[in-house]
Amino acid sequence: MRLQKFLSQAEVCSRRKAEELIADGKVRVNGKVAELGQSVVAGEDVVKVGSKTIVLAERKPVVLMLNKPRGYVCANLEPDAGKTVFDLVPEEYASRKLFCVGRLDKDSEGLLLITNDGALANKIIHPSSGIVKRYEVTLNREFDPALTPRLLKGAKVKDENGEDEFLQFSNVIRFPDGKKLEVHLNQGRKREIRRLFELFGFFVKTLRRFQIGGLVMRKMPVGDCRKLSKKEIDLIFSARGNASHHNARVKSATTMPAATPAGGRAKLRGEKAFEPSKTLRRENRKFEKLKEREAIIEEKIRVKRDIRRAAFAEKLAAEALAGIERRPQNPPRRDNPARGNAWAKEIRPHVKKARTRGYASRKGAAKAALSQGESRQGGKFQGKNFRKK
């Protein structure tokens, strides 16, 4: 194997750092200064970095599943990254050279795989494997189902380096709550879900990954981390993880032909059809009843509108036969450009009415005159009447 790979698997440093050590002449193989790209055989060649002999011990692959909380970064090589997901890894695995299988940004949460097996990680991440990642997304406003084809078609955007990058969803499923969606991805570009929704004027409030392939995260506390068994690892690559459970159920009930057996496409593939839980079935029935009610109301409104239009057309025909000419209605005053709107042209200041102007001063003078026992005309005050001098 290559020398830099040997040093990386021996957990001395990363491959890039190993290339720098080899280029600086700090690595020796069998007493000679190593060259970049040199091959070594583990157990036969003696490799030293400085004065330390490097031995490649047998490394057991490990795969961990973590329920990532918000506020943690998927990075282990950045000193200023703050809280990282590797702070949540159990101490028994902390000494191993672990890395994330794909990333979740700082504001995202949910299922995250951590391993030291590079071949397995590459197989999961690479789009050619066809492994679908599923996310629960909450938007800032209600989603318009008419935008679904455009999200599935994808869009080309510029990345941080100014290069073209293609963002695309493989499936979008709408929940009864119009702000919640289930999004499927075949690829894993940086902040792909958030960036694609922002192109269409949406802001992602919460983003949670709950499934990778056939591996589903269930009843796992936030921040918990555990080792996956061999059966669970094989479950990632199972075929049933690449078909949408929700989508298969919807298609079997709506768009699939009558010749398709019960269970939809999963039955055709020889797999067990997805059986939704009681809660999901109850929510779906509520949603279907609501849609039926809305359809009935829209149909009633359409019938009433057609009846009114037909009656108006008959009235116009009767008036035409009788020779009655209908006078055109004058447009509203505010829409008449000839007359205009004086209040729209300028803002007039408020003017007090004449009868109220100076009312307070006259009232004060009258009170002062009455207190002296005289009226305004110079008479004396007697009861309710004035007596002139």
Indicate which residues carry an active-site annotation: 105
Task: Give the angle 188-191-194 at the CA atoms, nearest 5°.
Answer: 120
Which burial class, exposed, middle or buried, applies to 68 when counting CB atoms under 10 A from its CB (0-12, 13-18, 19+)? buried
Alpha helices in the chain (DSSP H): 3-9, 15-23, 91-94, 118-125, 148-153, 192-199, 230-236, 245-253, 265-268, 278-322, 342-345, 359-371
**Measured on CA atoms in the order 215, 220, 223, 227, is the torsion positive or negative?**
negative
In this structure, the number of other CB atoms found within 10 A of the CB of residue 141 comes to 11
Q: What is the Cα–Cα distance from 362 to 380, expressed in whole angstroms? A: 19
Cβ neighbors of 103 (< 8 A, separation 6 or more) are 74, 188, 190
* φ, ψ at 264 (rounded to 5°): 75, -150
Cβ neighbors of 164 (< 8 A, separation 6 or more) are 156, 157, 158
